[in-house]
Amino acid sequence: MVILFTNHILLQRTISPSPLRKLRRVQRSISYYSSMDLPVPDRQQQKGFMDFPHISTTHRNLMVELVSTMETRLATELLPSSLPADVQYYQNESGSAQGTLHIQTGIETSMVDFILGSWLHCGMPTGSSLDITTLTAYLNSKTDAPRFLIEFLQSSPTSMIIILDLPPRKDPVLHLNYLNTFYVDTQLDKQRQLLLNKVPEAQPYFPTSLYIRCALSPVSVSILINCDSQERMDEIIRDNVGPVAKELLEVWLNQCARGGTIELGELDKADLEKRDHLIKKMTVEIDLSSSLPRLFGPDVAGKVIGSIQQVFKT
């Protein structure tokens, strides 16, 4: 779950002929996940956000490094998480769907509104699973700098959608200085092109939702990878995706979390707050409110969505 909650994308998009059949089965069966007769994990062995228990070691190492880097660099600006235990880790009644949520809000003087991380694991009757790992960060109206977004959506060991981006908070067409500062001068588009050129298994990924496409930046890395083995996927994550993700985080930490226009005019600030609020509202209404109840049931979903709405202020 994220600015775009790209679980919404995964359930609508063709990944490959075989995953497509899997996803159609997901769409047919998602409504009864909460009643599936699958083994229930021992609640005394619940996994935390930083455990990332359902992804490969290579993928886990990358996520842990990204989260640790963000939290370490922003340590003096973040408050401890105050989420209740049953929101930090949650599952449906059968244990077929599990998730974690990690949120830390910024202190009053910080430009960071909050950081949000999560992973979702949805087991399927066929034995396959859907795994979504997310790290995102929102800034407040003290700055107009972009947000941060990384999301991995994996439907099999050999098929993955990857989104790496600094979603804009102003229209780059109307604000050319904004475009140059955050997307041209940072040379982020070269990173995107390099990734596509170096990984023959990668192809551009286009979300079916036009709203989601509009929310991404012109230099977003939005790719689909289909390869022949888990070992090859790990190699791509370690040698190609990892360096780009780390560079994106460095750019965001150096030029966004502590950059952008600091003294905004009243009209600019009002427009910024309106756009931010709309993005958060749409995240809840379009994605969370429709997806989470089907996966986890209304009670669990209500607690998780309620905690997110408190932070979103929607």
Give the model's pLDDT for residue 73: 97
DSSP annotation string for 38-70: -PPPPGGG---GGG-TTS-HHHHHHHHHHHHHH
Q: Classify residue 110 by its DSSP letter.
A: -
d(CA 238, CA 232): 10
SS (HEC) of 213-239: HHHCCCCCEEEEEECCCHHHHHHHHHH
Instruction: For residue 217, give Cα distances in angstroms to 80, 94, 163, 174.
Output: 30, 39, 11, 14
Instruction: For residue 38, give Cα distances in angstroms to 33, 192, 225, 308.
Output: 10, 40, 30, 28
pLDDT tens, per residue, the chain with 314 residues: 444 444 443 344 334 444 444 434 444 444 433 344 434 444 445 579 999 999 999 999 999 999 999 999 999 999 999 999 999 999 999 889 999 999 999 999 999 999 999 999 998 777 789 999 999 999 999 999 999 999 999 999 999 999 999 999 999 999 999 999 999 999 999 999 999 999 999 999 998 888 888 999 999 999 999 999 999 999 999 999 999 999 999 999 999 998 766 678 888 899 999 999 999 998 888 778 888 999 999 999 999 999 999 999 87
Give the model's pLDDT for residue 162: 98
Q: Which two tokens stand for residue 274?
A: 């309106």
Among 102, 155, 147, smallest CA distance to 259 is for 147
Strands across the sheet with 159-165, in order?
89-91, 97-105, 112-123, 129-139, 148-156, 159-165, 221-226, 202-204
Give the model's pLDDT for residue 199: 97
Domain ranges of the chain: 7-312
d(CA 55, CA 61): 10
State the CATH class of domain 7-312: alpha beta
Give the model's pLDDT for residue 208: 83
Contact between 169 and 272 under an 8 Å Cβ cutoff? The reply is: yes
